[in-house]
Structure 1
Amino acid sequence: MLDAFLAGWKSGSFANVSFVRASGERVDAAAVATELKALEGQFKDKPPALAKQTPRVEDALAFADVAVSQPVTDKVTWNYTTSVRMTKGKDGWQVIWEPAVVHPKLTKGDELEVRRKSASRAGVLDGKGDEIVKPRPVTVIGVQPRDVTDLDKLVADLAALFKTAKIDAGTSDLAARVKAAKPEAFVEIITLRQEAFSPIEADFRALPGTVTRDEQWLLAPSRTFARAVLGTVGPVTKEIMDSKPGAYAVGDQAGLGGLQRAYDDRLRGAPGLSVVSTRKASDGTRQDTPLYTIEAKAGEALKTTLDPAVQLAAEKALGSVKQRSAMVAIRISDGALLAVANSGDDNLAFTAQVPPGSTFKTVSAYGLLDAGKVTANQVVPCPKFFTVDGRQFKNSNFMELGSVPFHTDFAKSCNTAFASLAPQLGPEGLAAAGSALGLGQAWDLGYPAFSGRVSAGGSPTELAAAVFGQGQTIVSPVAMAGVAAAVARGQWKQPVLLLDPAPAKPAADGPALKQTTLDPLRAMMREVVTVGTATALKDVPGGPVSGKTGTAEYDDNPAHTHAWFIGWQGDIAVAVFVENGVKPSETAVPVTEKFLRAIR
């Protein structure tokens, strides 16, 4: 009888099982099955594993302990012990049916349910350990249908208000949503930071039917602050839920892009849960009695190297150009990334794969000087044109310097001089120079970043193009900031973004660069600022600025060029990239100047 009952408990259908209530009244097996389903509540489709103990028999009564293993989630099982009583009548053994058979604390009218407890999401910290992403006040604005006097007018007024305030709220479906909602409902329009809501608050509240709700959201200091690398937090999407079945519930908050997405499991912690017996009270509310609880585990913070003041300065500087752009600032002494700024939502600072243009002359010059193929004072002619295997190379604006020393070629950014030196460097020498300055190495920042790819093409024309940053060589701003930092430091060190958790396999520090190579190269990069292509930076306060500009063609149209600047001042190295920036002197260099002035 016991075995048949336990089999029926699991299947939900009792065959060849007789039941009586505790009062002795017989009860139909089908009625027991119905009552069991009601008691099981949310577990009615999750049959438990049941393991019986040997029954104890006392005259006409028998008692059997049953170990119940009830699946709660894919990873959680609720284990408890209950007892089944049986009585022996004239027709044999009968199970004494009562709710306490399912769980000792259940009574008639109870139902098992699972209550999920969200964990406290952790913030993101800056290099000093202060919170960057932390709870900040927001206002949820919406409409309450019962208070609307003229829906069409309200929607039109809201659309005009949002347009004037440059708030992308989207009101096209608002009227339909208000009509479909209950009179007392809160029909949400948008959630705004306080600084965005305050200017429109009075006008918004003056419209009949508008309502607000104050909340706290995990946010960065501003909407744009390091957005492309930090990401955002918001309601979990279907795509995220599908990617990790069972990990999220509708309404959960999840990381949406950037570090928030990549480290979502760490930041969100582990949700808790309670199995409760619930029943409807006389006033219509539900009364819960906890039976099993797993406490939520709070998330762990993510500690970055970012410096909010430097990050804000970088973002403000990028705001001075209309084109898509990116800036990376590295603390030279330890490789810490102080700013990772992008003008849009795309993380160009880390993921762009674009030609470096003449900023790559820093790498080529390093290789040539280090190998003793040229000296800074050696005359290297700079003609207007230079031909390699029938392909003609030229300088920007058809510049022609004549017979000048190599340091002048570098300062004035002479392509033809570098093309003429390409055979002395060779593809292997070019690749070795790039590797010594971190390009193409296996980085691990704890977040995807492109470390660059130096041209491996061995043809004379490809090599001639590659030495001044064209051809097949492609880089990212963070890679080129690393190049500048390496020259300034005298050793390449992988940039650092995350302090906790630290990356699993960061690239090892490069070997110390030879002083006999560094001295002339640093002098040449300083000359770029004093008399070369970046003279706008020579009077920036805070110490001497050194660097290299770059104009990078990216297709077959010579007029289509990106603008670059890489360099350093004091303990900060920078790389600025402006997509379609054309002339560095009009885009990348002024951005750099604004940034350097702002952080002093």
Structure 2
Amino acid sequence: MRRRRLIGLLVALGVVAGAGAFAFVASSGVHGSAMATASAYLEAWQRSDITSMEHLVADPPADFTDRHLAFSDQFRVNALTLKPGSLKVTGEETAELPFSGVRELTGMGPWAFAGTLRLAVRDGAWKVLWGPETLHPALGNGGALSLEEVEVPGVELVTRSGAAFPRDSGAEPYLDRLRERLGETNTGWAIRAAAQGAAGRTLVVFQPPPARKVHLTMSHPVQAAAARALDGVGQDAAIVAVKAGTGEILAVADRLGEAGAFDRLFPPGSTFKVVTAAGLLKAGMSASSAIACPPSHAGIRNSGDQTATTLAGAFAVSCNTTFVQQTLSRLGAARLEQAAAEWGFDGRKLPTGVGGLCGRVEQGADLSVLALNSIGQGTVEASPLCMAALAAAVDSGVWRSPRLVTAKAAKKLDGAPPPDMTMDQRVVQDLRTMMRQVVSEGTAKGAGLGAEVAGKTGTAEVPSGRPHAWFIGYQGDLAFCVFVKNGGSGAEVALPIAARFLGAL
């Protein structure tokens, strides 16, 4: 008996609830909800059920079906996935539903887009307020979409391991130049949008698989370390790294613009003392030769209160006057120019695969210019690539022309390279000792480089602006150059960048 009474009570409550719902619909005059209509429209759209879509639209245009079919045909749509966002109520009888979508295009791939469904109450029911922008936002206000054939690279440039290059790596100008030189292209497709009265813009490019992969000499981890070492520098800067034993370019992170690390020449400052020291060593001096470090000589002054008693010590603390004095008394212009030519400073071109220049020193300098040339000022100029090759030559004992493609490809693209040159091994051994001393007790001391690193700082004065900052060196078989245009002191600016670069390897 109690069970019958309970069932009767539940039935009565259900009747009351149903009556309440009916009363609400009747009083408001609106059937359904904005979200229900929007969901039904998106589901029908995914199924390509245009008839059901049209029934959910307020005042659909006469060509509603034709527009959808034509759009799918034009862009080769074979599948559509839609995802609703959160409904936004914009008025008593209006709402909007943002949504995202992905169209799969035959032979091209996915095309992602986003849009908004506008909804309103019409004739007692929620309806979609359809416009061309519902198909794609670019079609609003008289806009148009087009599918066009475009030329895309026919090769994929990858690092030596086959990995793609890191994003924002600083190697992009060199990769673009190499693609252009290789000249291989394929046909791709681009979707472009054109608004009324405005220039068209490309929304997406669909590239076919490249015809072939081209492996460069560059290393993904070394390239990534170089790129990230320049993050936050906030100035024009570059890092070039070379495998000393082969001349293969392992990384080029270039923020100088227009392949400046390969093509542009700058005064190298005290990093050129490697070349001057090589000339002095070949003329009979040694790392332990006794010298003086006077406050000034031939109009040249030191940047600080340096003291030194040996050539290695003067090199370590970068005593300008020692190198000026010894160059004027022992070398002269001819011998310094000869040493410069042996180490790459003869105006030679570097057949890297994308071109490049090394360094140069004008011949026949008078004594005042010779004094400046001996410390990397005056008429001395070099590219960051050339200075990395210089460090590599000290490291390996052989000057090699650097390249970022195979030797065969570099020759085909740029011509035959200068021949490898085996350097005087006694000179090389002393240079290694002197460059290690720079790190252990000289201008690079305390930078956290590690005992296995050898290098040379450089600060190059320029006619206007701050000096250029340099640091060149090597660690194991990795030789490198760090350059910051108008950065200031090499020890204060370039050296910390080099420490970040090496620390990330």
TM-score category, normalised to shorter length: 0.5 to 0.7
Q: Alpha-carbon deviations, 1:110-154, whole Å to 9, x = none?
A: xxxxxxxxxxxxxxxxxxxxxxxxxxx99877677x9689xxxxx
Evaluate the alpha carbon distance shift between residue 344 and residue 223 of structure 1 in structure 2; reply closer, same or farther with a 3 A threshold.
farther
Return the match for 1:572 from 478, 488, 491. Answer: 478
Q: Counterpart of 2:316 in 1: which secondary structure?
A: helix
Q: Counterpart in 2 of 1:348?
A: 260
Q: Counterpart in 1 of 2:196?
A: none
Shift of 1:445: 1.6
Shift of 1:569: 0.7
AA in 2 matched with 1:313: A
Q: Counterpart in 2 of 1:385?
A: 296
AA in 2 matched with 1:487: V
Return the match for 2:401 from 494, 497, 510. Answer: 494
Going by fraction, where is helix more abundant, 1 or 2? 2
Check if 1:225 corresponds to 2:169.
Answer: yes
Q: Counterpart in 1 of 2:367?
A: 460
**2:401–2:418 contact (8 Å) kept in structure 1:** yes
Q: Counterpart in 2 of 1:414?
A: 319
What is the RMSD of the two structures over their aligned residues, measured on CA atoms? 3.2
Matched residues in 1 for 2:109 and 2:258: separation? 25
Q: Counterpart in 2 of 1:180?
A: 142
**1:492–1:510 contact (8 Å) kept in structure 2:** yes
Moved more, 417-426 or 523-532: 417-426
**2:317–2:438 contact (8 Å) kept in structure 1:** yes
**1:304–1:498 contact (8 Å) kept in structure 2:** yes
Check if 1:518 corresponds to 2:428.
Answer: yes
**2:166–2:223 contact (8 Å) kept in structure 1:** no
Q: Counterpart of 1:573 in 2: which secondary structure?
A: strand
Note the residue ranges of structure 1 that are not aligned, 5 or more in a row.
1-136, 150-174, 189-216, 232-256, 273-295
AA in 2 matched with 1:451: C
**1:318–1:325 contact (8 Å) kept in structure 2:** yes
Return the match for 2:419 from 509, 518, 521. Answer: 509
**2:460–2:469 contact (8 Å) kept in structure 1:** yes
AA in 2 matched with 1:581: G
**2:157–2:214 contact (8 Å) kept in structure 1:** no
Q: Counterpart of 1:456 in 2: which secondary structure?
A: coil
Return the match for 2:342 from 410, 429, 436. Answer: 436
**1:441–1:451 contact (8 Å) kept in structure 2:** yes
Note the residue ranges of structure 2 that are not aligned, 5 or more in a row.
1-107, 120-136, 149-155, 159-163, 189-207
Return the match for 1:364 from 276, 285, 291. Answer: 276
**1:379–1:406 contact (8 Å) kept in structure 2:** yes
Q: Counterpart of 2:479 in 1: which secondary structure?
A: strand
Evaluate the alpha carbon distance shift between residue 381 and residue 318 of structure 1 in structure 2; reply closer, same or farther with a 3 A threshold.
same
| Correspondences of 1:3-402 after superposition (within 5 Å) | 178-182=140-144, 185=145, 220-231=164-175, 257-263=176-182, 265-266=183-184, 268=185, 299-343=211-255, 345-372=257-284, 374-387=285-298, 392-397=299-304, 399-401=305-307
Shift of 1:538: 5.4
Matched residues in 1 for 2:446 and 2:487: separation? 17
Shift of 1:444: 1.4
Q: Counterpart in 1 of 2:438?
A: 528
AA in 2 matched with 1:532: G
Q: Alpha-carbon deviations, 1:428-475, whole Å to 9, x = none?
A: 222221222223323212212111112324211111101110011111
Q: Counterpart of 2:456 in 1: which secondary structure?
A: strand
Evaluate the alpha carbon distance shift between residue 448 and residue 593 of structure 1 in structure 2; reply closer, same or farther with a 3 A threshold.
same
Evaluate the alpha carbon distance shift between residue 222 and residue 539 of structure 1 in structure 2; reply closer, same or farther with a 3 A threshold.
closer
**1:438–1:493 contact (8 Å) kept in structure 2:** no
Q: Alpha-carbon deviations, 1:78-118, whole Å to 9, x = none?
A: xxxxxxxxxxxxxxxxxxxxxxxxxxxxxxxxxxxxxxxxx
Q: Counterpart in 2 of 1:33?
A: none
Q: Counterpart of 2:382 in 1: which secondary structure?
A: coil
Q: Counterpart in 1 of 2:16?
A: none
Matched residues in 2 for 1:431 and 1:418: separation? 15
Shift of 1:177: 8.5
Q: Counterpart of 1:503 in 2: which secondary structure?
A: helix
Matched residues in 2 for 1:140 and 1:418: separation? 64
Return the match for 1:483 from 390, 393, 397. Answer: 390
Evaluate the alpha carbon distance shift between residue 486 and residue 539 of structure 1 in structure 2; reply closer, same or farther with a 3 A threshold.
closer
**2:439–2:449 contact (8 Å) kept in structure 1:** no
Shift of 1:298: 6.9
Q: Counterpart of 2:241 in 1: which secondary structure?
A: strand
Matched residues in 1 for 2:431 and 2:409: separation? 36
Count of aligned positions: 346
Q: Counterpart of 1:396 in 2: which secondary structure?
A: coil
**1:228–1:345 contact (8 Å) kept in structure 2:** no
Evaluate the alpha carbon distance shift between residue 218 and residue 400 of structure 1 in structure 2; reply closer, same or farther with a 3 A threshold.
closer
Matched residues in 2 for 1:447 and 1:473: separation? 24
AA in 1 matched with 2:141: K
Matched residues in 2 for 1:438 and 1:138: separation? 50
Check if 1:587 corresponds to 2:499.
Answer: no
Q: Counterpart in 2 of 1:214?
A: none
**1:143–1:186 contact (8 Å) kept in structure 2:** no
TM-score by length of 2: 0.62
**2:278–2:427 contact (8 Å) kept in structure 1:** yes
Q: Counterpart of 2:398 in 1: which secondary structure?
A: coil
**1:491–1:509 contact (8 Å) kept in structure 2:** no
Shift of 1:539: 5.1
Matched residues in 2 for 1:579 and 1:459: separation? 28
Check if 1:469 corresponds to 2:376.
Answer: yes
Matched residues in 1 for 2:141 and 2:358: separation? 54
Matched residues in 2 for 1:331 and 1:306: separation? 9
Evaluate the alpha carbon distance shift between residue 139 and residue 321 of structure 1 in structure 2; reply closer, same or farther with a 3 A threshold.
farther
TM-score by length of 1: 0.53
Q: Alpha-carbon deviations, 1:264-301, whole Å to 9, x = none?
A: x23x16x69xxxxxxxxxxxxxxxxxxxxxxx997444
Matched residues in 1 for 2:224 and 2:487: separation? 22
Q: Alpha-carbon deviations, 1:159-185, whole Å to 9, x = none?
A: xxxxxxxxxxxxxxxx99852314xx4
Evaluate the alpha carbon distance shift between residue 416 and residue 507 of structure 1 in structure 2; reply closer, same or farther with a 3 A threshold.
same
